Amino acid sequence: MGEPQQTHPDTDLPTPTAPRPLPRQPLVWNRAKRLAALADKLRQAPRTTEQLAAHFGVTRRSIQRDLLALSQMEHRVTRDHRGAYHIPQGGRALGPAEALAVYTAVRLLHHHAPVTSGHYLSALETIAGNLPQHLRHLLHRSLLDTGATHATDRALDFVAAAWTNREVLRFDYRKPGGEVERGNELEVYFVEISRDNLAPYVIGQETRHRQAIRTFKVSRMENFARLERTYDIPEDFDPRDYLSDAWGVIGGKNPVTVRVRFAPEAAYRVLEGGYPNATRVDTTLIHRDGSVELDIRAGADASGLPRELIPFLLGWGPRVEVLSPPHVREHWLNELRAALARHDPTYPGALLDAMEGRR
């Protein structure tokens, strides 16, 4: 007779005994752990077989077999132009609050951008799919004609494809004055929406004419071609170097700080906050007359002027005064004088121009 079977003290059921390990079980277990770790590595960043072999301490041939095994397990293993392997992260459905946040952001672009796009509408419809049916119907009805110029979507199609595939993009560029700069070749590093006009801009390395990082307004780009030449975005490229000082999209490493005084009737808006790169000169005190001073850091162009900040300052009319630096103050005053000279016949400058026959 065999030994009496042991029972569990609480259930009187037989106590399970651990199965004997099969001879190859440790090897299989180790490979299973390596496959799981390999999948995690490939989700983090693209890696070559050499890098993976060195990391896991196995041969390249073993890594190649593992990659094949992951593919057979329905992991979407992709290989880029450098020979590095990657598993793209799968998305997830947005929660109601997330969907509403993204929807309102895209809706802002659709309604207020000077050039609208069918891609905005398509994105709105996709995002609305994450919301309940009664909200989807209401949101669709709200998408009315905005009066914006309708783009053909061709520009965004080319920019998106070049950026995601890291392909050099060739295009002509129509400058604000109408002059066309032909044959630009751009490595697209980043796409930004201007705070000033909500239009999309592209930032990247222009390799044919100036060989420098430049910014292009998407709606002025035309005659596109995607080149077979590919590129890598430099690891030290940080979009914040070109955007953090920008009120629109002019950034770079030569920002200018403009000191501005807001009159009492405008001070409340300053105290509410919400202006990028703006700090109170004195955070503890409002001036006796109720005015508030603000230091605003903004990107400057080659002449040293914060071109994208100037319209914001002019928009406040007499309720704002530019205090410094001197060259920005002088430019601001000249803009005000020019407006008066053009539109107010009683302005002394306008009378002088009329007397000299220059009007």
Q: Are residues 200 and 132 in the same domain?
A: no
Tens digit of each residue's pLDDT (9 = 90 or more) over 287-304: 888 888 888 888 787 788
Q: Is the Cβ–Cβ distance between 109 and 193 less than 8 Å?
A: yes
Q: Which of 299, 292, 298, 246 is nearest to 271 (CA)?
A: 292
Joined together, the tokens standing for residue 335 give: 């803009």
Q: Tell me what pLDDT residue 207 has.
A: 93
Q: Is the dihedral of CA 281, 284, 288, 292 positive or negative?
A: positive
Pair (264, 332) in one structural domain: yes
Q: Please say whether the beta carbons of 256 and 328 come within 8 A.
A: yes
Question: Where does a domain end: 86, 107, 130?
Answer: 86
pLDDT at 324: 93
- Which pairing describes strands 78-79 and 320-324: parallel, antiparallel, or unpaired? unpaired
Q: What is the pLDDT of residue 113?
A: 60
2 is a domain residue: no
| CATH, residue 216 | 2.30.30
Say yes or no: 120 and 172 in one domain: no
Q: Which run of H or E residues covers position 125?
A: helix 118-128
Is residue 339 domain-shared with residue 284, that is, in the same domain? yes
Q: Does residue 351 form part of some domain?
A: no
Q: Which domain holds residue 79?
A: 26-86
pLDDT of residue 332: 93
Residues in the chain: 359
Residues in the chain with pLDDT values less than 50: 1-16, 22-23, 146, 148, 284, 351-352, 354-359
Residue 71 lies in a domain: yes
Number of domains in the chain: 4
State the pairing for strand pair 115-116/149-150.
parallel
Clarify whether residues 178 and 111 are in a common domain.
Answer: no
- pLDDT for 359 equals 40
Same domain for 175 and 201 = yes
**Last residue within a domain, chosen from 237, 269, 288:** 237
Vertex 73, ends 72 and 79: CA angle to 5°?
65
Domain annotation covers residue 227: yes
φ and ψ of 155, to 5 deg:
-65, -50
The first and second tokens of residue 65, run together, are: 């077999």
Q: What are phi and psi of 238, to 5 degrees?
A: -120, 115
- 249 in any annotated domain: no
Does 207 share its domain with 229? yes
Q: Determine, yes or no, domain membership for 298.
A: yes
Considering the domain boundaries, does residue 246 fall inside one? Answer: no
- 159 and 232 share a domain? yes
Q: Which helix (H) or strand (E) holds 78?
A: strand 78-79
* CATH number of residue 38's parent domain: 1.10.10.10
CA atoms of 330 and 299, how far apart (whole Å): 18
Q: Domain check: are 268 and 327 in the same one?
A: yes
Domain boundary among the residues 68, 86, 104 is at 86
- Domain match, 268 and 325 both: yes
Q: Are residues 197 and 227 in the same domain?
A: yes
Are 202 and 280 contained in the same domain? no
Cis peptide preceding 326, ω within 30 of 0: no
The one-character DSSP state at 47 is B
pTM, to two decimals: 0.52
pLDDT of residue 60: 92
* pLDDT recorded at residue 274: 65
- Residue at 244 is within a domain: no
What is the Cα–Cα distance from 292 to 92, expressed in whole angstroms? Answer: 46
Tell me the helix, strand and coil percentages in the chain, rounded to 5: 40, 20, 40
Residue 16 burial (CB < 10 Å; 0-12/13-18/19+)? exposed
Burial of 15 (0-12, 13-18, 19+ CB in 10 A): exposed
